[in-house]
Amino acid sequence: MTRKRLLVGAAVMLVLATAGTLTLFGFGLLSPATDYRPVPPGHQEIVFLAPATSGEAWERLVAAVDVLHQESLKANAGTPRLNVFKQRAFTDLTADVPEVAIWPDGFENAKLWIRWYKLSSGHNTESWISSLTERPTPPLAVIGGDTSHRALRVGEALERHRKDWQAAAPLFFITTATADRYIPNNTPNVSTIDERWPKLIDVYKGRSFRFSFTNSRMAAAVLDFVQSRNELWPALKGKTNLYTLRWDDDSFSADLADRFDEVFLAKFPNGQASDFHIEYSGGDFFQPNPREAFVVGQILPELKEYHKLRQFMLLPADADRARRFLRTVVRRSDPADLKNLIVMTGDSLGFNTIFRDRNVSWNIQDLPVPLVMFSHRNPVSKEVGFDEASASGGTGTEDLLLYRDILETVLLTAYQGQKLTASSDDLIRGLRELCWSNGRVQRMSKNDKTTPLFNPGDGNRSDGTGEHIIVLLPDLGRGVPQATIAVWNLESKPDLPPVWEPLRKLTVTYDAQLPDRPDI
């Protein structure tokens, strides 16, 4: 009887072990590092290099493919239709390589494959780049760099292997990394605008192209906008104060703060900038960390002393940090001290934070202060599906349009005449001939007075090629708390200076009862 029980127990343990192993394989936790996929003769590949947790970013990239496909079906006669293969766009195994293929009519044997090579502990940036150098056909380009830190890692890996490829080395298409310069070895508490520090775009020099705008451009755009909108401060003139927060353990925060200080003093010669350093960024959803609470205590006397003047507060931080810091300022201030305060940031707060997720992520009952944000592209484009009344709450379209820019760039430069390019060097020549016209990436004609898509000197995106500003204006003077969200775009016309044009205005309401949160 005892032997029978042992056999039954062993069988049960074997079944459980097998099920557990299959489960771990399904999640990719026991799978060997996935090898690169082959490129069929005559075809080409674009690599999307992003963490294995970037499922939402990959979905948006695939959605941008769908947008281009649908647009091609509605295009005028004579424009080639775009074909799409999506059977492997979303795979069952976490460690597998999702892929889509796109090609114009007539190029069935010359497809462009877009593949997501997932970054993980078992396959990091260096190992993927090193593995891909072994393949006879290098990628035409690597899409990546959603943060400045990841862009630096990818750029360094590509530079180390620049001469290891079996054909022309791939280009690097930077998505939303915005740092102008980076400080080697993470040297703390030094200015990032010092020209001794290297530029991010030069890490992989001559083969990097940035589709987002830099921190310096974001600072210039935001400050130019607020300087030109007198309605933000009715009847206020004279001195302007800027309170610049920076989290020292976040290179993006430090760089954006430095850029804002530099541009502010140039645009507001009579202004005064005060810097406040926060040593670390860890903390929870509502409560400030001890160093943040200490800095709040430092800034409150200045807000009170200068409450009759125009006041800016720069929060170069993600939603969690910005929310808990500003919430603490509001709760410890007199309302009169904040009446002339405007909070600014770059792209660290997304449109979804203040619109789709507003009741939890940015509720004006906790944060009753005007907010000015930067967006690399239009967050409310009906053209690509924005619907403020949708069941999902209306998801912003800025990332979708940014990926569309990247895909259009590839299609316009990879397919030249009757052939698909065989070299990334050909892509570089094509990129220099692209411009920004009518809100789209297009080929530049000789007689066009249009703005080049990229700065020919370094590969950064040119000014005036898609900048948008988002303004949140709270209104708590009604029975139901509500706010206005206004979106502006920088309109560039030949022979005329660029001007900010209103694009769309949304009125949003908030739940009358705040979500559960601790009081301070």
For residues 81-105, give the mean pLDDT.
92
Positive or negative, the CA dihedral 196, 200, 204, 209 is negative
Q: What is residue 382's DSSP assignment? A: G
Residue position matching structure tokens 């206005």: 484
* Integer Cα distance of 146 and 139 in angstroms: 19
Tokens of 117: 């090579």
Question: What distance in Å separates the CA atoms of residue 325 and residue 41, rounded to the nearest whole number?
Answer: 55
- Quickly count: other Cβ atoms within 10 Å of residue 55's Cβ: 15
Average pLDDT of the residues of the chain = 88
**Average confidence (pLDDT) over 311-330:** 96
pLDDT mean over 321-326: 96
Element holding 451 (H helix, E strand): strand 451-452
Place of tokens 């070299």: 423
pTM: predicted TM-score of the whole model, two decimal places: 0.90
Looking up tokens 């022979």 gives: 495
pLDDT for 189 equals 58
Distance in angstroms (rounded) separating the CA atoms of residues 484 and 306:
27
Looking at residue 236, its pLDDT comes to 66
**Are 178 and 201 spatial neighbours (Cβ–Cβ below 8 Å)?**
no
Identify the weakest region by mean pLDDT among 78-82, 295-299, 318-322, 390-394.
390-394
State residue 31's pLDDT score. Answer: 42
| Whether the predicted pLDDT of 26 surpasses 50 | no
**And the tokens for 95?**
């460690």
Q: What is the secondary structure of 193-238 as a DSSP string?
A: T-TTSPBGGGTTTTSEEESS--HHHHHHHHHHHHHH-GGGSTT--S
**Strand pairing partners for 241?**
272, 311
Q: How many CB atoms within 10 Å of residue 85?
A: 14
Give me the percent of the chain exceeding a pLDDT of 70: 89
How does residue 144 score in pLDDT terms, banded at 50, 70 and 90? very high
Residue count of the chain: 520
The pLDDT assigned to 33 comes to 44
Residue 14 confidence class, pLDDT cut points 50, 70, 90? low
